[in-house]
Each structure stands twice: as C-alpha cells, then as structure tokens.
Structure 1
Amino acid sequence: MARQIVHTDAAPAAIGPYSQAVRAGTTVFLSGQIPLDPATGELVQGDIAAQARQAFANLRAVCEAAGGSLDGVVRLGLYLTDLGDFAAVNAVMAELFQAPYPARSTIEVAGLPKGAQFEVDAILVLG
C-alpha cells in the first residue's frame, strides 16, 4: 500500500524528521501536535485549556488537509506534563467531540517539545 504524506500550512511545520501525517489507504496517522501558533511557530500563551484548544486546532487542520475532520478520529493519544490538568483537558475535548467518542489514552510525561504542557496525536479513518 502506498503512503501519502499530508501537509498543511494551517498547522505548525514539523520540528523534526517526521511528517504532519501519513495516509495509508483510508487510515491517516497524525503526528503529535503541541500548542504552537502556525503563523508564528511560537507556543500560545495561557493556561492548559488554551494550550489544549490550540493543539486540537492544529490537529483539526491536519485532519482537514487529509480530507477528513475530527469526527473521523478513532483514537487519540493525550500527553500532559501534569495529570492535575486532566479535568480541564476533558472539558476542552467535550467542546470538540461528540459521542461516540474516539478511543483514548492519557499519559503524564516529564516534558514536551518547546516547554508545552499538552500534546495530542491521533488516528483518523476517512470515509
């Protein structure tokens, strides 16, 4: 099966040797998105909710570039530097996703690129 690289300027450029997403058939594997403003490449200011909203906005832009939307996401990986922020991130997710919800894991990590407090990656199924 051929791989198709997905890229959009509406999300931050990769900050390493990886693609924003890779499509294989109708499945799209989306790389992690941190709360970078795609226009400036800088981390957004604000609390964990502001960071989560920006990271999800970046994820949405890549989903759309692949021909899908957040509605087609079947799995999310959430990475937080403080699990004390779990409820705030859940509240942001509730703004963006409706039942049936994607499968999800939430993991506390020691650190994230550029000092972010939140990162999200996903698997999207098209069609």
Structure 2
Amino acid sequence: MSKQLISSGTIWEKKFGYSRAVKVGKNVFVAGTTAVDEFGNIIGEDDPYVQASFVYRKIEKALQEAGSSLNDVVRVRTFVTDIKRWEEVARAQGEVFEEIRPAATLVEVTALVRPELMVEIEVDAVIQG
C-alpha cells in the first residue's frame, strides 16, 4: 500500500520531520494543526473560535490535496489551552461537522507550541467509495 505525504509548505514540516497529512490507502491522517498561516503569523489571537475556524480551513485544504474532504472525517481530536472557552471552539466544530458528526474528543492541555495559540486540532478521515 502506498503512502502519500501532504505538505502545507511551511518550514517546520521539513525541519521537524512531519507532514501536514499522510494518506495511506483510503485513510488520511491530518497532523495537529494550529492557527498559524504560511508566513508564521498567528490568526485570531485571543479568540479560540477564530483560531478553530482557521484551523478547519487548513485541514480542509490538506484533505482536498489527499483526494478527500471534510465529509470523510471520522475522528476529531481538539486540544485547548483554556477549557472555560470550550464552547467557542465547539461552535466552530459544529459549523463544520453539523451533518457529518464524526467521533470527537476535546481536552485541555497546559500549553501549545506558542503561548498565543489556544487550539490545536487533528483529524482522521476515511475516503468513501
């Protein structure tokens, strides 16, 4: 079975030895994704809803490159730095997955790679058909 590596083109992927996503057969695994654009700028500082919404757009792009889509997502893992603001993150997830309804986990973590980041999301997808 072949493996396809999907890159978003950031310097961190090559430097730290990971891919934005990996496709193996009909399975697509999207790495933990944060609200950092291709220039290293944080999107939505101090706004977990904006960060999560931006992250889902990045995830959607990686899935599309793998020949998949958000409709194929079967698992979502969300990491937040402030559990008191979980509903803001969940609102973004609900907008994306209202009809898809994948299995989902949301947990609080002490910190993410940069202190301004409040949300990190990873997904697994299985391409239908």
Q: Do they fold alike, i.e. is TM over 0.5?
A: yes
Deviation at 1:12, TM superposition (A): 8.3
- Residue 121 of structure 1 corresponds to which residue in structure 2? 122
Distance 1:63 1:12 in 2: 20
Name the structure 2 match of 1:103.
Answer: 103
Q: Partner of 1:20 in structure 2?
A: 20
TM-score, normalised to structure 1, is 0.89
- Which residue pairs with 1:44 in the alignment? 43
TM-score where L is the length of structure 2: 0.87
Asked if 1 retains the 8 angstrom alpha-carbon contact of 2:71 and 2:100, the reply is no
Q: CA deviation at 1:50?
A: 0.9
RMSD between aligned residues: 1.8
What SS class does the counterpart of residue 19 from structure 2 fall into?
Answer: coil
Residues matched between the structures, number: 125
Q: Aligned residue for 1:78?
A: 78
Percent of residue pairs bearing the same amino acid type: 27
Are 1:12 and 1:58, in contact at CA under 8 Å, matched by a contact in 2? no
Q: Indicate if the aligned counterparts of 2:80 and 2:107 stay in contact, CA closer than 8 A.
A: yes
- Supply the distance in 1 between the matched residues of 2:26 and 2:3 (Cα, whole angstroms): 11
Within-5 A mapping of 1:83-94: 83-94=83-94
Residue of structure 2 in register with 1:32 after alignment? 32
1:99 match: secondary structure: coil
Q: Which amino acid aligns with 2:106?
A: T
Task: Find runs of 4+ consecutive structure 1 residues off by over 2 angstroms.
Answer: 11-16
Is the alpha carbon distance of 1:90 and 1:72 closer, same or farther for their aligned partners in structure 2, counting shifts above 3 Å?
Answer: same
The one-letter code matched in structure 2 to 1:50 is V
Tell me how far apart the structure 1 counterparts of residues 42 and 114 of structure 2 sit (CA, whole Å).
7
Letter matched to residue 44 of structure 1: I
Name stretches of at least 5 consecutive residues in structure 1 with no aligned partner: none
Residue ranges of structure 2 left out of the alignment (5+ in a row): none
Letter of the structure 1 residue corresponding to residue 7 of structure 2? H
Does the aligned pair in 2 maintain the 1:30–1:121 contact within 8 Å? yes
